[in-house]
Chain A
Amino acid sequence: MIGILAVQGDFREHEHMFQRMGVPTRRVRRAGDLTGVTGLVIPGGESTTIGKLAREYGVEEEARRRYQEGSLALWGTCAGAIWLSREIEGYPDQPRLGVLDLAVARNAYGRQVESFETDLAIEGFDRPFHAVFIRAPVITRVGEGLRVLATYRGDPVWAVGERAMVTTFHPELTDDPRVHAFFLRLVEKGVSLKAG
């Protein structure tokens, strides 16, 4: 079962994408909702809000335990990517899961008027992916055990580990299911980090 963290943000857009692909999903608001979930998507939204609400009803603790025991794969989009990152530049106390060895800078492209959409070339995709960046974070450091699948202006925008991934853009705001399909494969089989 794919779970979608539904404390705040555009969780319905992820649901709709999975629905179109014929994949059932469950909304996760409390720790108990994670039972039977093998892949958890953390949507876009406000990262400070999501961090606080995920901590209060035990989701953060349970997701950490399940990830560490190897029974839960994770995908964070935008705010969700911030939540998964070990280091948030300038906000050391912001609540987060922090299981991926990444550093991110929030709102690094600027305020909303600097938000943009663009076509991204992505490793392993035969045609570009239309990516929407909204007050997006920039990944400033990628640790060992993570591989970068796409960059924009030289900065990583999609990083993948064996059991988790982050995108700083919003595949759920498009009609293109390729990144969601990639996550389903990651949940099922994990991802080999060897290049090529």
Chain B
Amino acid sequence: MEAKGTLKVKTGFAEMFKGGVIMDVTTPEQAEIAEEAGAVAVMALERVPADIRAQGGVARMADPKKIKEIMAAVSIPVMAKVRIGHFAEAMILEALGVDFIDESEVLTPADEEHHIDKWAFKVPFVNGARDLGEALRRIAEGAAMIRTKGEAGTGNVVEAVRHARRMWKQIRWLQSLREDELPAAAKELEAPLDLVKWVHEHGKLPVVNFAAGGVATPADAALMMHLGMEGVFVGSGIFKSGDPRKRARAIVRAVTHYDDPEVLAEVSEDLGEPMVGINIDLIPEEERLAKRGW
């Protein structure tokens, strides 16, 4: 008997992305550029986070027509975003045959209390997290992959760094505890005890963990790999820059060769204008995307 949509099949698929770059695209042409550059998957979107931030309004799942066009344009996996808690959007994406769903704070949340019950789907989900407790709560809901939230659409890596460091600090802290201290740790992290025990024993998240939110340069990508992330999502950073083709290619190489400074120097050269970044301190609290979700 064959079994589809199992935890093993979902988390195993995420394992295949490791050491790779997943790129936000809004057109079939951009998807082709991403594939040509060596992306392991593309994220099909109506607008990249930088534009969502600039234009405001309610940000929703992309038009299925657009997603289908992007799926037809490339042979690599296609992901798409749904609003937090919007399981009807997720049902639509699953029916379209999208390979992975990002339940994303970049879109306007549809439910301020509940995330999607991801166990109910055959298609795997990735969720953002700012710390270990948030990551484990999402995994308990069925997420097959985690990414840092960072602060999307800013071209500023500082929040992604904060989230990555915090997650690893908390993992090392859990490892340092005695077995009988884990229930209190679970309470403090607001995370299920069985997952807290798993992390205590294995010293890592039970699913693949990527960097996301503000990665704009090959050096940013390499930094996140050094901080223990297993791959990188790049949103606005590529197609909001001067030479997307060249930058996309460079970021892919930087993730593979993150501990080889010679290669990093070579690929970082002459990339043209990066996206214009935003200083996070200048974004009012209520406009910060990472605050969405809990």
Cβ B13 vs Cβ A10 within 8 A: no
CB 8 Å contact bits of A96-122 with B (1 = contact, 0 = none): 000000000011001111111111000
A/B interface sample: 14 pairs, CB < 8 A: A8-B18, A8-B40, A10-B15, A48-B35, A48-B38, A78-B16, A79-B16, A111-B97, A112-B13, A112-B100, A115-B13, A116-B3, A132-B12, A173-B12
Known: A91-B75, A112-B123. A117 touches B6 (CB 8 A): yes
Say yes or no for A29: interface residue by CB 8 A criterion: yes
Measured in the bound complex, the distance between the Cα atoms of B13 and A9 in whole Å is 10
> Contacts A53-B38, A113-B94 given; 20 further ones with Cβ under 8 A?
A6-B19, A7-B256, A8-B19, A9-B16, A29-B260, A44-B15, A45-B16, A45-B19, A46-B39, A48-B38, A53-B256, A79-B16, A111-B99, A113-B97, A113-B123, A116-B6, A116-B9, A118-B3, A173-B12, A173-B15
Is the C-beta of B203 less than 8 angstroms from some C-beta in chain A?
A: no
- List 10 tightest A-B contacts by C-beta distance, closest first: A112-B99, A46-B40, A118-B2, A116-B2, A10-B15, A8-B19, A49-B38, A115-B9, A111-B97, A52-B38
Complex interface: chain B residues within 8 A of A2 (CB): none
* A178 interfacial by beta-carbon distance below 8 Å: no
Interface residues of A in 48-107 (CB under 8 A from B): 48-49, 52-53, 56-57, 78-79, 91, 106-107
Q: Which residues of A contact B253 (CB under 8 A)?
A: 53, 56
Chain B residues whose CB sits within 8 angstroms of the CB of A118 once the complex forms: 1-3
Cβ of B17 to closest chain A Cβ, rounded Å: 7
Docked pose: A79 CA to B20 CA in angstroms: 14
- Least CB distance, A25 to chain B, in whole angstroms: 16
For the complex, count residues of B whose C-beta is within 8 A of A.
38
B5 within 8 A of partner (CB) = yes
Cβ of B263: which chain A residues have Cβ within 8 Å of it? 57
Complex CA–CA separation, A111 to B99 (angstroms): 6
Q: What range describes how many residues of A lie at the interface?
A: 35 or more
In the complex where A91-B75, A112-B77, A134-B16 touch, is A45 in contact with B5 (Cβ < 8 A)? Answer: no
User: What number of A-B contacts does a CB cutoff of 8 Å give?
Assistant: 113
Give the one of A7, A115, A117 with max B CB within 10 A: A115
List the A side residues contacting B98 at CB < 8 Å. 111
Q: Does the CB pair B18–A45 fall under 8 Å?
A: yes
Closest to A173 in B: B12
152-196 of chain A: CB within 8 A of chain B? 170, 173
Contact between A114 and B4, CB atoms less than 8 A apart: yes
A134: min CB distance to chain B, Å: 5
Contact with B along A118-139 (1 / 0, CB 8 A): 1100000000000010110000
Collect the chain A residues with CB atoms within 8 Å of residue B9's CB. 115-117, 132, 134
Known contacts: A11-B19, A46-B16, A117-B6. The answer to whether A135 contacts B77 by CB under 8 A is: yes
Determine how close the nearest CB of chain A comes to the CB of B264; give it in whole angstroms. 13
Q: Give the distance in Å from the alpha carbon of A6 to the alpha carbon of B230 in the complex.
A: 12
Please name all residues of chain A whose beta carbon is closer than 8 Å to the beta carbon of B12 when the two chains form the complex. Answer: 115, 132, 134, 170, 173
Alpha-carbon gap, A10 to B124, bound state (A)? 17
Q: With A and B bound together, what is the CA distance between A116 and B2 in angstroms? A: 6
Question: Min CB distance, B69 to chain A, in Å?
Answer: 15
Give bound CA distance, A143 to B260, whole Å: 39
Interface positions of B from 274 to 294, Cβ below 8 Å from A: none
Partner of A46, one of B1, B76, B260: B76
Which residues in window 16-66 of A have CB below 8 A to B? 29, 44-46, 48-49, 52-53, 56-57
Are B2 and A113 touching (Cβ within 8 A)? Answer: no
Q: How far is the CB of B137 from chain A (nearest CB, A)?
A: 24
Q: Is A141 at the interface (CB under 8 A from chain B)?
A: no
Cα distance A8–B255 when bound, in Å?
9
Q: Which residues of B contact A12 (CB under 8 A)?
A: 18
In whole Å, how far is A116's beta carbon from the nearest beta carbon of chain B?
A: 4
A48 to B263, CA, bound (A): 20
* B75 x A107 contact (CB < 8 A): yes
Residue of B nearest to A90 (CB): B75
* A79 CA to B100 CA, complexed, in Å: 18
> Measured between alpha carbons, how far is A9 from B35 in the docked complex, in Å?
16
Interchain CA distance A91-B4 in the complex, whole Å: 27
Q: Which residues of B contact A49 (CB under 8 A)?
A: 20, 38-40, 76, 252
Counting chain A CB atoms within 10 Å of each CB, which of B15, B35, B39, B260 scores highest? B15
